[in-house]
Amino acid sequence: MPALGDGRADGVWCTLGEPRTTAQIAQNGFAWLGLDAQHGAFDDATLLATMPALAAVARQVPVAVRVAEGSDAAIGRALDLGADIVIVPMIETVEQAEHAVRAAHYPPRGRRSWGPMAGLWGGAAPSAAAADPEVWVMLETPEGLRAAEQILAIPGVTAVFVGPFDLSIGLGIELDALLAADDGAVAADDLADGQHRPAALPAIVAAARRAGKHTGAFAGDLDRAERLRALGFDRVAVVTDGTLLAHGAAAVLGEAATGRTSY
């Protein structure tokens, strides 16, 4: 499977659920694609149409699918369809993270059922021994933050992926305050203290580094992407597919363009 490797990896977050558009984006130099099956238009049918479209352009770009929830069925289905990475939302406990890892891997490491679907569109199914999907857990709540050290220490959790919008709502602080913090000295389990909540992102990055795990986050625009990189996040979804179209229109039309270039 395509691998991200180390260092900065700028991705695009796809929400439109349009297979051909997604395949075009895959050819434009992004390090990874995220297909949103939780809050985007990617459902089972559109994922089933998108993965062959990506295969047809001989993709070398890792594809992540954010599943709607962390069940065996949702995680296994995304991986059967060909995802290289599964992003699991709203992880709050060690048990939930361990469940996600087991759902993503075949026995004896996990309990995933065999059934890759690449053969339906003429692709080659990987062997069970070769399958090694990445599991990115989303920490989006105060409960998840308090358990960050323990969650990120779990073998098989590859990275933490932060949705700063949900995190700011959960912590009861403004998004700008969350993104502005630069004090990494606060431990994740201290974040119940309202005084420390703006330091949530540096605390997550610090916890991930101690665990030797990668750090990802959704930006949705270029300014937020720079701020997240400055905080230490290395896998940043810099734009959505919709805002990418708006940026293209702005490059052609200049001030006459009317599309939104921010999520």
- Catalytic residue ranges: 39
φ, ψ dihedrals at 146, nearest 5°: -65, -30
| Residue 16 near residue 98 (C-beta atoms within 8 A) | no
Give the contacts of 99 (CB within 8 A, at least 6 positions apart).
70, 72
Distance CA 51, CA 118 (A): 8
Check: CB of residue 131 under 8 Å from CB of residue 106. Answer: yes
Sorted by sequence, the CB contacts under 8 Å of residue 82 that are 6+ apart come out as 51, 54, 55, 63, 116, 117, 118, 123
Burial 44-67 (b: 16+ CB within 10 A, else e): eebbbbbbbbbeeeebebbbbbbb
- The Cα 91–Cα 187 span in angstroms is 18
Q: For residue 249, give both structure tokens.
A: 């229109």
Other beta carbons within 10 angstroms of residue 127's beta carbon come to 10
Of the CA atoms within 13 Å of residue 165, those in its CB half-sphere come to 7
